[in-house]
Amino acid sequence: MDREIVRILYLYTALDLSNNKFSGKIPSIIGDLVALHVLSLSHNGLQGQIPSSLGNLSSIESLDLSVIQLSGKIPQQLASLTSLAFLNLSHNHLQGCIPQGPQFYTFENNSYEGNDRLRGFPLSKGCGNDGNDSETNDTTSGLDDEENDSEFLNDFWKASFMGYGSGLCIGLSIIYFMFSTGNLRWLARIIVELEHKIMMGRKKKQQRQRSYRRRINSLT
């Protein structure tokens, strides 16, 4: 029987198809039923993802998609449903981060229970990825080590230049004193000692470089 409906009655704004044997995916065309206040598809054999078009149900107050076989992420579009007062997505196979929005802050854990791979408020599992966090921490630690090594090298070279500079000034002063007094034996002895100190300094420098390379290899 065909009937022309001039005005949509309130009785037609509640759609309860729960406890049936419906299968397949939730049709995205449901998002066109913008006058819906109540939608329940729970306890069916439906599969697939939650259609993002449900975010168009601007008047929806109660959404029950529990105890079916939904998978994937909760669409971010649902966070814009400012009239949504009741949400039940429990006992599905949903995963990822729970969208954040004014209404989603009011829902409790029982709205999402039975979805072990869901994360974010109000669940105890944080929304951040543990692997990424660990990688970020490792990267940060690596950068800190590099900065420390860089500071160590800078300090090392500064100290080396200061030592060689001081030694050069002292050596030139002694040479000038020796020439002015004419005592060249002392000059020869000083030159030998300076050569010995230079060689020892080079050996110590090489040892420090090897120690530094071993330290870098142990960090990497």
Residues 6+ apart with CB under 8 A from 182: none
- Pick from 75, 94, 127: which residue ends a domain? 127
Clarify whether residues 96 and 135 are in a common domain. no
Structure confidence at residue 42 (pLDDT) = 96
- Pick from 127, 162, 182: which residue ends a domain? 127
Structure confidence at residue 32 (pLDDT) = 92
Task: Report d(CA 4, CA 211) in Å as an integer.
Answer: 90
Clarify whether residues 136 and 181 are in a common domain. yes
Task: Report d(CA 213, CA 209) in Å as an integer.
Answer: 6
Clarify whether residues 88 and 112 are in a common domain. yes
Clarify whether residues 122 and 135 are in a common domain. no
Structure confidence at residue 136 (pLDDT) = 41
Clarify whether residues 147 and 191 are in a common domain. yes
Higher pLDDT, 39 or 174: 39
Q: Please tell me whether the overall predicted TM-score, pTM, comes out greater than 0.85 for this model.
A: no
Clarify whether residues 163 and 210 are in a common domain. yes
Please tell me the least confidently modeled range out of 68-77, 109-118, 130-139, 146-155: 130-139
The chain-wide mean pLDDT, for the chain, equals 77
Clarify whether residues 71 and 168 are in a common domain. no
- Pick from 111, 127, 143: which residue ends a domain? 127
pLDDT band at 197 (very low <50, low <70, confident <90, very high): confident
Q: Residues 17-74: pLDDT tens digits?
A: 999 999 999 999 999 999 899 999 999 999 999 999 999 999 999 999 999 999 999 9
Segments forming the whole domain that contains residue 142:
131-219
Clarify whether residues 18 and 101 are in a common domain. yes
pLDDT band at 127 (very low <50, low <70, confident <90, very high): confident
Own/partner contacts of 64-69, CB < 8 Å, gap of 24 or more, are 64/18, 64/39, 64/40, 64/88, 65/26, 65/41, 65/89, 65/92, 66/42, 66/90, 66/91, 66/92, 67/42, 67/43, 67/91, 67/92, 68/41, 68/42, 68/43, 68/44, 68/92, 69/45, 69/93
Structure confidence at residue 131 (pLDDT) = 40
Structure confidence at residue 101 (pLDDT) = 86
Clarify whether residues 117 and 161 are in a common domain. no
pLDDT band at 88 (very low <50, low <70, confident <90, very high): very high
Lateral strand order in the sheet of 69-72: 23-25, 45-48, 69-72, 93-97, 117-119
Clarify whether residues 31 and 103 are in a common domain. yes
Question: Do residues 41 and 63 lie in contact, with contact meaning Cβ atoms separated by under 8 Å?
Answer: no
Pairing type for strands 93-97 and 45-48 reads unpaired
In this structure, what is the dihedral angle of CA atoms 94, 98, 101, 104, given to the nearest 10 degrees? 70
Question: Do residues 106 and 86 lie in contact, with contact meaning Cβ atoms separated by under 8 Å?
Answer: no
pLDDT band at 202 (very low <50, low <70, confident <90, very high): confident
Report residue 76 as tokens: 């971010």
